[in-house]
Amino acid sequence: MIRRQRLAAGVCALLAALTAGLAFPGPAAADETQQAAPKVELVLDVSGSMRTRDIDGGTRMAAAKQAFNEVLDATPEEVQLGIRTLGANYHGNDRKTGCKDTAQLYPVSTLDRTEAKTAVATLSPTGWTPIGPALLKAADDLNGGDGARRIVLISDGEDTCQPLDPCEVAREIAAKGIGLTIDTLGLVPDAKTRDQLSCIADATGGTYTSVQHKEQLTDRVGQLVDRAADPVVTPVATEGAGACSSAPSLKSGLYTDREEFGQQRWYKVAVEPGQEVRASVSVADDRAVNPDYGVLLRAVTLHGREIVRGEAAGDGRTDVISTGLRYPRPESDDENASAETVCLQVTNSFSAAAGVKTTPGLPLELTVDVVDGPSKAGDVASFGLGRGWWLLGALVLAGFVAGLLWGWVSRWRVAVWRTN
């Protein structure tokens, strides 16, 4: 009996090893290129107005603390993260002193989650709102290294330390060419706060988000921290045309542009026989817009025939809307076949809310990737599996073998039970 039990255990172990070996054929070769550590500094407004109770029944400060705790738990290991405050320490009414009130709560370094959370727990809404001075100090905190650098500013009000305009500070930081991005989040902002935070983000190619709820704050800060860990790709500024015939010719890469409300922008891509063009576009509503909007991306021939399209719609509860498409050009028997010009049309259906400026246009980000098509790469595009087809076959085989072995083991166990 014991020998039979050992045999069953051995068969199960063999089954597990076989399944694992087929499903995971072995470790991939290590990437020899080491990415420089990305750096992020969270800059938090701890001014007196953060006591206001208007976010899901709690104070703005409580919402920020909860967001920080959850984000710290989820921060990728490779990200060096720091925390800076503004308005956290000076309780008085002297403007000159209050406008110097910014301090680094946690240094930009490999994250000790417990230590960082403990530091955040000590914060209490206190004083002024020196956004400009805090941004200057934060830029210094992130100085050095070749990795991505990002400031995430969370505030609920305008800077109270003019004439040091935080927009000018952001432009000054951008002019240094240090590759630092500033993203801003406004907690229940009024129009002036929204304009100022949008201006700061625009100056460095960052994003602005209006926040009304705790969950929204947590999700957005987490997204921005994760984004810092993505490989650094430098976008190229381009200017789309009003028609395909005069559109700029693009190669594989990341491009930025501006698109006015309801405008069409055209771009061109050359696609050789057997190649596939993959394109995606994101349009940001960086100001107040009317609800119910969308973005359309079309691939069209030079003669105006639509090849394929991608579209997405929103209802005013997001700051970016994205869509994409793929077009594989078939192989040709003609060795001298020329490249086909594919026209990419981007259209948005945003409309500005009352009193909102319509210029400059909305930020647009276009990604173009021209790759070998399915027949060249050995992909199975119709199933969307790409080079993973062999893996699916291995999994099917593993499942078949597992079924046979499990059936044999089950019958053997029933036979043993009947015998005993």
Cα-Cα-Cα-Cα torsion 217, 223, 226, 228, nearest 10 degrees, comes to -100
Phi, psi of 298 (to 5 degrees): -120, 140
Task: Tell me, yes or no, if the pTM score tops 0.75.
Answer: no
Statement to judge: residues 253 and 218 lie in one domain: no
Statement to judge: residues 241 and 217 lie in one domain: no
Percent share of the chain, pLDDT over 90: 45
Structural element, H or E, at residue 103:
strand 102-110
Q: Please report whether residue 103 resides in a domain.
A: yes
229 vs 119: which has the higher pLDDT:
119
Query: Where residue 388 falls among pLDDT bands split at 50, 70, 90?
Result: very low
* CATH number for the domain harbouring residue 47: 3.40.50.410
- The mean-pLDDT minimum among 62-66, 99-103, 128-132, 388-392 falls in 388-392
Q: How far is residue 62's CA from residue 5's CA, in Å, rounded to a whole number?
A: 58
329 vs 375: which has the higher pLDDT:
329
pLDDT, tens digit (0-9, with 9 covering 90-100), for 156-213? 988 888 778 898 899 888 877 677 889 999 998 888 898 899 889 888 878 888 898 9
CB 97 within 8 A of CB 90: yes
Statement to judge: residues 198 and 246 lie in one domain: no
Q: Please report whether residue 242 resides in a domain.
A: yes
**pLDDT beyond 50 at 404:** yes
Statement to judge: residues 81 and 144 lie in one domain: yes
pLDDT, tens digit (0-9, with 9 covering 90-100), for 234-255? 688 999 999 999 999 999 988 9
pLDDT, tens digit (0-9, with 9 covering 90-100), for 29-52? 334 345 688 999 999 999 999 999
pLDDT at 259: 92
Q: From edge to edge, which strands make up the β-sheet containing 149-155?
A: 102-110, 80-86, 39-45, 149-155, 180-187, 208-211
**Which structural domain, as residue segments, surrounds residue 215?**
39-228
Q: How many structural domains are present in the chain? A: 2
CB 281 within 8 A of CB 365: yes
Selection from 316, 310, 326, 298 nearest residue 382 by Cα: 326
Distances (CA, A) of 42 to 67, 104, 161, 299, 374: 11, 10, 20, 40, 44
Statement to judge: residues 54 and 188 lie in one domain: yes
Pairing of strands 39-45, 53-55: unpaired
The amino acid occupying position 191 is A
